[in-house]
Amino acid sequence: NSGPATPYDWLLMEDLPFGRAGSAWFCSNGEYSDCGTNDESGTHTLQSPPITLPADGAHPYLTFTHYMESEPGYDGGNVSFRINGGSWQAVPVAAFEFNPYNTTLRSFSPYGNTNPLAEQEGWTGVGGRWGTSVVRLGELARGGDTIELRFHFGKDVCAGFDGWYVDDFVVYTCPDCDLDGVPDHLEFVFTAFSGFITDMGVHFERGLRLVAPPRAAGDVTLSFTAVGDFSNESEYINVKINNVPFGVVFDSLSMDCPATPGRDTLTIPRSVFNTLVDAGVVHILMSTSTNVNSTLCPDGMYVSLYVEYETERVDVDGNGILDVCEGCARSDMPSLESGHVTKNRYLSLVPGAPGRLTALRVTPADLPPRFEHLEGPQMWVSSPSVVSEEAGRNDVGPPVFNAAPLGCEPVYLDWGAVGPLHVYGDVVVPGAGYEVQAVDLACGIMDEAYYSPRLTITTSQWGDIVGRCDVIPCSPPDGRVDVTTDVTAIVDKFMNRPFAPSKTRTDLAGSVPNAVVDIEDVVYALDAFRGFAYPFEASGGCP
C-alpha cells in the first residue's frame, strides 16, 4: 500500500459474495475514515511474481475472475504491467478481449476525487456480479519476455462499499492449430470493442468498423456502456448499421452522469448480420439525439460498444476443435477447372478440401524428349499471387486469376478457399503430362496412403494455343500451329482485345512464364509455326 491513514493490504478471503466457492484475494473499500481527520487517499497493490512468457507460445493471455463493489466513480481499480523489470504501465483498454474497464474514474476537479488513480481507466461502481476479464498479453509483450502484473485499487479521502475481489488469476498461451494467425478460440467466438468514445454529438457519428468479420451462428448482441445526459426519454443514442438507422439505446436510463455507468443492448438478427458480413464491412455508428447535452457531465460524456457472438464454425462434430485440426485425413483430389483447356506453360486446376490446410504436390510424369530426366521427382505448389488478365506486367484487374509457381518445399494453405489455380515453372513444358495430389497438414508428407488420388493434367503442343477461331471464343488447341489462329490469338491478347484467349493460354516467353503477353510471345508462336523446337531449358526438379 502507499501508506494512507488506514494502510491495509490485500488479503486472502473466504465466504465470498454470491456463494462463490473457495477463496479469493480481497481489498477492502470499507468506510474507515470520518472524512475529516483521516485522509484515506491511497493505493493498495496486489502484484504477481515475474512470469516468463514461452518463446514459442502461440498467443499469450491473462484471465482473472473478479467482483467490484466500490464507491462509484471515486474508488476503483485497474491492472498494470511491466516488461523485463521496466516501468509500470496500465493495461490499455484495447488489450482486453473480454470484459474491459467500465469507465474512467472521476477527476479531482470538479469532483474533488483525491484517489491517486483519478482520471485513469478502470472498474468502479456497484450492482454487478462476478465476471471474467481476458487480456491479450501478446499486445504487451513478446515470447521470452518476463512480465509482472499488478492489481491497483485506489481510494479517495473517505467512504466506500465492500471492495474488490480477484480470483483465478491465470497466464497461459492459446494454440493456433491451423496456423492462420488467429487463436483457435477466436475461430468460435468473435469479439470487438470500440473503446471509450467521447467526441460524439448530434452531427458527429462515431462507432466501430468490423472489416471482414466472420459469419454469425446466431443473433448478434451489441452491448453499450455510457455516462452522459440521459435523464428523459428524448435523450438517447441513435444507432446506425452501414448508414441505415437500426435503433436507439439509453432512452430509458433516467439518469444524468451516473457514477456507475449505464448499460443497454441491441440485437441484430443473424440473417441481417450475415447479409452485412457478406458485403464485407459492418459499420456501427452512434450519434446523440437533439436534446442530449454532451457537455453536461463535468468529465465529459462517453459511450462504448462491445460486440461478441458465436461464429459459424468449421466444427462439424461440435467438439470444440476445428475440423482442420482434428488429425490426419486423406485429402480430396484436386479437379480440373470448369471448361478446362490445355495450355502450353500452365497447369490449371481447382484444389479441394476447403477449410483444411493442405499442400499440393506436382509430379512430372510424362515429359517429351530433352526433359525425360525430370520425370519422377516431386515439386510443390508455392504461395499464390493475384495476376491481372490484362496483357501487361503492371496492369491491374479485373478480371484477375490466381497463379502459383512450383517450389521445393510444401506450402500449407486453405487451398480450397483460393479457388481455381494456375501453376507454372520451368518444368511445366509443352507436350507433357503431370500428376497433382493434395496432402493434409496433419498427415505429414512421408506416408503416400494419405495423399489424394492423382489428377492428371497435360499440356498442349508447343505453340498450339487455340483451334478454330471462326466462332468466338476460339476452340481448344487442335494439335497444330497456324498463323491465322494461334499467332493471331496471341496478337489479340497482346492488344487486350476482349475476345482474346486467356493470359495462361497465350503467355509463352521465358524459361519460367513471366505473366506478360507481348511481342516476344508472338515471335515464339511464329517460330513454332515455322517448326522450331521449344527453346527453353529446365534447371531441374527438386532434390
The burial of 246, by beta-carbon neighbours within 10 Å (0-12 exposed, 13-18 middle, 19 or more buried), is given as: middle
Q: Measure the CA–CA gap between 423 and 428, rounded to whole angstroms.
A: 8
What confidence score (pLDDT) does residue 277 get? Answer: 92
What confidence score (pLDDT) does residue 316 get? Answer: 55
Q: Measure the CA–CA gap between 407 and 264, rounded to whole angstroms.
A: 55
What confidence score (pLDDT) does residue 177 get? Answer: 77
Residues 6 or more apart from 318 whose CB is under 8 A from it? none
Question: Could you identify the residue written with the cell 476443435?
Answer: 321
Q: In this structure, what C-alpha cell is assigned to residue 431?
A: 507436350
What confidence score (pLDDT) does residue 33 get? Answer: 74
* Number of neighbours of residue 276 by Cβ within 10 angstroms: 21
Q: What does the DSSP 8-state code read for residue 299?
A: T
User: Residues 519-522: contacts with CB within 8 Å, 24+ apart?
Assistant: 519/494, 521/490, 521/493, 521/494, 522/487, 522/490, 522/491, 522/494
Q: Any bridge partners for residue 286, and if so which?
A: 206, 239
Q: In this structure, what C-alpha cell is assigned to residue 179?
A: 496456423
Residues 6 or more apart from 494 whose CB is under 8 A from it? 391, 506, 517, 518, 519, 521, 522
Which residues of the chain fall short of a pLDDT of 50?
A: none
Q: In this structure, what C-alpha cell is assigned to residue 244?
A: 441505415
* Cα-to-chain-centroid distance, residue 216: 15
Furthest-apart CA atoms within the chain: distance in Å: 107
The burial of 180, by beta-carbon neighbours within 10 Å (0-12 exposed, 13-18 middle, 19 or more buried), is given as: middle
CA geometry: angle at 66 spanning 65 and 70, to 5°? 170
